[in-house]
Amino acid sequence: MVLGLLGAALALGARFFDHLPSGVVVKQKIRGQATVADCLTQFGPAARQRWKPFFERAGVPYPPQKLIFLGLKEEKRLEIYASNGGDWKWIRTLPILRASGKIGPKLRLGDFQVPEGFYKVESVNPNSAYHLALRVNYPNESDRAIAARDGRDNLGGNIMIHGSNVSIGCLAMGDEAAEDLFVLTEDAGRSRVEIVLSPLDFRISKMPPDPNRPDWLQERYARLAQFVQTLPRDPN
């Protein structure tokens, strides 16, 4: 019985890492079956109290109507923006404690890359092996269409913004930051959150030229640059 339960738990955990190549072993802690409501009860009061001064300073009521989580891979920062119908306001910047890979999009299972592009929160995981997690909807429709044209399959997936400080293709934010992001996302509503993952901060840097860069990626970088440049910068 015990072995059966352990096997089921390990199988469930393995599905969280389908972007890993064969032979890579990841040690996970097996957690319970907390609900989203349980996590909001446990972590909500403290997280909302931590968010309060940031939203008050920006003049945006909490919870906001719209959110942007801007992940800057090169700078290892996650910048939070909010709007209640007007201009986007910078709210807070969180350090990305760990993110594997390098500049460049995620293309296939096992490449250890963090995606680049425009994404949504597909789901949340209150029982993540890494405390709490937001699941990014990679591969999205655009990723799948481009891969089909390129003849690529096995795109990987299960990209998370999670706690702890280890990452294989995900953004590891630390446990307290993961609590804050989890509570903010649920308070505002998952559909109101846009996740923008950019190779670098296009407001201060340019992509180095690469003659081998495909046209679709050049176009994606142009879209990301145009979007990121519309956002106010962290004044710090």
Is 39 marked active-site?
Answer: no
Residue type, 1: M
Token pair recorded at residue 165: 């400080």
Stretch (H or E) spanning 224 = helix 215-228
Inside any domain, residue 233:
no
Residue from 19, 39, 131, 162 carrying the catalytic annotation: 162
**DSSP notation for 157-210:** --EEEESSS--SSSEE--HHHHHHHHHHHHHH-GGGEEEEEESS-TTT--PPP-
Residue closest to 101 by CA, chosen among 144, 125, 129, 71: 71
Contact 156, 19 (CB under 8 A): yes
Could you list the residue range(s) of the whole structural domain that residue 178 is in? 2-201+211-228
User: Looking at residue 136, what is its pLDDT?
Assistant: 98
Is 162 marked active-site?
Answer: yes
The tally of domains found in the chain comes to 1
Angle at 22 between CA 18 and CA 26, to 5 degrees: 70
Stretch (H or E) spanning 8 = helix 2-14
Would you say the C-alpha torsion 29, 33, 36, 38 has a positive or negative sign?
negative
Instruction: Give the Cα separation of 80 and 89 in Å (integer).
Output: 9
Inside any domain, residue 152:
yes
User: Looking at residue 4, what is its pLDDT?
Assistant: 43
Residue 161 buriedness (CB in 10 A; 0-12 / 13-18 / 19+):
buried
Inside any domain, residue 206:
no
User: Looking at residue 1, what is its pLDDT?
Assistant: 43
Inside any domain, residue 85:
yes
User: Looking at residue 199, what is its pLDDT?
Assistant: 98
The strand ranges marked E within the chain are: 66-72, 77-83, 89-95, 117-128, 131-136, 159-162, 171-172, 193-198
Inside any domain, residue 234:
no
| pLDDT tens track, the chain, 236 positions | 433 433 444 334 433 433 443 333 333 344 579 999 999 999 999 999 999 999 999 999 999 999 999 999 999 999 999 999 999 999 999 999 999 999 999 999 999 999 999 999 999 999 999 999 999 999 999 999 999 999 999 999 999 999 999 998 999 999 999 999 999 999 999 999 999 999 999 999 999 999 999 999 999 999 999 999 999 999 98
Residue from 19, 39, 131, 170 carrying the catalytic annotation: 170
Asked if residue 61 has a cis previous peptide bond (ω within 30° of 0), the answer is no
Inside any domain, residue 235:
no
- Whichever domain contains 180, its CATH number is 2.40.440.10
For the entire predicted model, the pTM comes to 0.87
Residues 6+ apart with CB under 8 A from 138: 106, 115, 117, 119, 155, 156, 157, 159
Inside any domain, residue 236:
no
